[in-house]
Copies of this chain bind each other. A is one copy, B any other.
Amino acid sequence: MIELNGRGYRKPELPTVVICVDGFDPAYVERGIADGILPTIAGFARDGWLGTAEAAMPTFTNPNNVSIVTGAPPAVHGIAGNYYLDRETGREIMITDDRLMRSATILGLMSQAGVKVAAVTAKDKLRRMLGHGLDGVCFSSECAATEIEAMVGRTRPDMYSADLSLFALDAGLRLFASGAAELLYLSLSDFIQHGHAPGEAAADSFHRGLDERVARFVEMGAVVALTADHGMNDKPQVIFLEDELSAWFGLGAARVICPITDPFVRHHGALGSFVRVYARVDHDIPAMMAATMALPGVAGVYDRATAAKRFELPYDLEADFVVLGDAATAIGAAGTEHDLSGLAGHLLRSHGGEGEQLVPFMLSRPLSGEYRLRAQTRRLRNFDIFDYALYGAV
């Protein structure tokens, strides 16, 4: 038994795998089950549990993966984006390691308690965070070493490929089969979801591949739990907020930070539906907020304290104000900072706002009476998934 952030977790009685399917909007599940793309997951809906949960805000990869492995919101664990502005130095920093993490992880504590733990991630940027305190196996598809390639039986995939995720799943299957892991966390990439809506051939093909691998975990006797870090929506409208603020308040009056920014932006051009704004002079903040609120497609504007409270974010890392786009609107900094050529003719699909907060939450086995009742009467969070996987399944 370990304890973390106010919850207890028992050691896995059965081999347990928790999969964070990046960008797995519930619309993929609905359509995929209806179209026969997800037969194993359709079985969960019948014999285990299929429902929805709310992701942590902002609905980006880093905050949500760290929430999942800590069972807590960003206010507790300190990771509020992929990219941030350091208030002290004024420098903009990509978060690619665990230096800002303020919480231990379930994975780390379980490994220290003698459980064989492994974490495999598609993107290397998450590896150091997921590996925080982890005394076990932890690697990424993106930077898989030769021995990992040998284990999986193929060379590591291109970082912009569906196989980046499937490789992580295959690596997890091998680790499981060899007995190297009793508790496994797999975190995939949303490369496919950024480019392909439910029902598109590439999305169907990827999700079929996911479902097949999930079936293999089930066949091996594992408890399988799936959730997502965020959903995904078409974003036909883009607001370049730093340009707007420059036009109204003068060049350089505000810096807009897009926390979706990561080393890996070709599929979304660093455009999401949640940005942080830092004003050069505090005095302008209320007027900037009011002007921003009036822009069509803006779903909400929150000052620093309200944003921190409402979205359970660390106040000390929060901007002067945050701006959310609606389901159809992405928000950028200056137009010149966003390279959309990588979309290659695709419509922009992205995430970050409240429109992408609903994610699937599913288990391969039936829930206990208590956990089932809770799932039927409460709003679950995606970061309840380890609790449900370790305690909830019977």
Contact = CB atoms under 8 A, between A and B. Distances in A.
A377 B51 CA distance: 6
Interface string A236-250: 000000000000000
A280 to B, nearest CB: 19
Interface in A287-325: 287, 290, 293-294, 299-300, 303, 305-306, 309-310
Interface residues of A, number: 32
Contacts of A374: 30
Contacts of A27: 377
Contacts of A199: none
- The CB with the most chain B CB atoms within 10 A, among A294, A306, A372, A374, is that of A306
A50 B51 CA distance: 12
Interface in A172-214: none
Contact of A358 (B26, B52, B300, B379): B379
A110 interface: no
Given A45-B376, A50-B376, A286-B290, A310 B306 contact: no
Contacts of A51: 51, 376
A63 interface: no
B293 A33 contact: no
Given A52-B378, A306-B300, A373 B30 contact: yes
A293 B300 contact: no
Interface in A14-34: 26-27, 29-30, 33-34
A237 to B, nearest CB: 14
Nearest to A286: B290
A13 to B, nearest CB: 24
A9 B360 CA distance: 29
Given A286-B286, A286-B290, A290-B286, A377 B52 contact: yes
Contacts of A29: 376-377
Nearest to A301: B306
Interface string A350-394: 000000001010000000001011101111000000000000000
A199 to B, nearest CB: 14
Contacts of A376: 29-30, 45, 50-52
A308 B106 CA distance: 42
B303 A293 contact: yes
Contacts of A306: 293, 300
Given A30-B373, A34-B373, A286-B286, 19 more contacts: A26-B377, A26-B378, A30-B377, A45-B372, A51-B376, A52-B376, A52-B377, A52-B378, A52-B379, A286-B287, A286-B290, A290-B303, A293-B303, A294-B305, A299-B309, A299-B310, A300-B306, A358-B379, A360-B377
Which 10 pairs across A and B sit closest by C-beta, in order of nearness?
A30-B377, A26-B377, A50-B376, A29-B377, A286-B290, A358-B379, A51-B376, A33-B373, A30-B373, A45-B376
